Structure 1
């Protein structure tokens, strides 16, 4: 009986912790990390402020976990879109740009929070980790493109960093919180810029303007 009670207690604690994480993520999606105060998280999760601290070391640790969860999901979707190494590198890069940018434009508030919002050092450390992960995906695509003669680049790692920087920075204006709808045409512009930067000739390329995954 004691073992069953302990297992139940642990499950309840796990459920409450997940509930607080969901509450924090909902707040970030709606208003950014600045909106996810401990008091707001407690209210959203129907818990006391003290209980938040009983499940997490503090607000920074909780929000870093929220970042890992949200950014990790986005990374998995983008990685899958560009995973087929049997496809031309340009097709894979086009898919990565469309999925990354398209999902960002669909969820502008969360994308702004994940990419650009000023955050605590703990959350910024997570952001840097995921930036490196995206750059590694692009670097592999560039290397494959070089091997196939699709791209021209002296340094694949530098080229990958520049491509991801261009994608992110080109989205700044579109993602900034605003009541105005985002312009999806920016995605084609990002693709054209990145392909030209890599020395790719887009004639006959089927990826331009293709729809992104949801």
Structure 2
């Protein structure tokens, strides 16, 4: 007769797996992907390295799970930002601000998630998870075009360009320690660039 795991065992296995993932997140947030080893993750989680490999076959597999967890959390935060504000311009500004400031708040983790060199497979996952961000910007741009706030444009192309601009703009600042004033300048400059690029006029010209 085939062995069946009891609910108690299933719960214990799930708790151990989650503890491993949370330990990996803590270590990656502190040290980055490259510097985080399987041995360090096992030690942080309080399990043997052998047991760790029974749950995850490689560091890449763990990082992929971590990446999905963090990305899902950040995408939800950006969608929440996209649902606030009185105009599409306000909502676009809030999304850009939310993404950037959350990245600065967990600088090392954001660097690992967005920029740090990783395996080819993980890099492909990064690209795949850019799609939900593109969808957020696409939704806001369609709304803006429909409301006559910006001129007609190729929404999907421009939304993808915004995602690329955001990541590239944060590459340098995330790789070094910056003061809050510098972070503010980066966010403000990035936001101004994106608003101008999609066709919003600046505040002064809107009042003319």
Match of 1:124 in 2: 123
**C-alpha distance in 2 between matches for 1:203 and 1:89:** 15
Q: Which structure has greater helix proportion?
A: 2
Unaligned 5+ residue runs, structure 2? none
Secondary structure, counterpart of 1:187 in structure 2: helix
> Where does 1:40-79 land on structure 2 (aligned, <5 Å)?
40-79=40-79
**C-alpha distance in 2 between matches for 1:50 and 1:163:** 43
- On the 8 A contact 1:78/1:99 being kept in 2, the answer is yes
RMSD: 2.2
Match of 1:146 in 2: 145
Distance 1:204 1:96, change over 3 A: farther
Unaligned 5+ residue runs, structure 1? 206-214
**C-alpha distance in 2 between matches for 1:179 and 1:31:** 18
How many aligned residue pairs are there?
202
Distance 1:179 1:157, change over 3 A: closer
Match of 2:24 in 1: 24
Secondary structure, counterpart of 1:200 in structure 2: coil
TM-score (norm 1): 0.87
> Where does 1:1-214 land on structure 2 (aligned, <5 Å)?
6-84=6-84, 87-178=86-177, 183-203=183-203
Deviates more, 1:148-157 or 1:193-202: 148-157
Deviation >2 Å, runs of 4+: 177-183
Superposition deviation, residue 150 in structure 1: 1.1
- On the 8 A contact 1:24/1:41 being kept in 2, the answer is yes
- For each residue in 1:155-185, what CA deviation from the matched residue of structure 2 results, as whole angstroms up to 9, or x when unmatched? 1111111111112211111101437665222
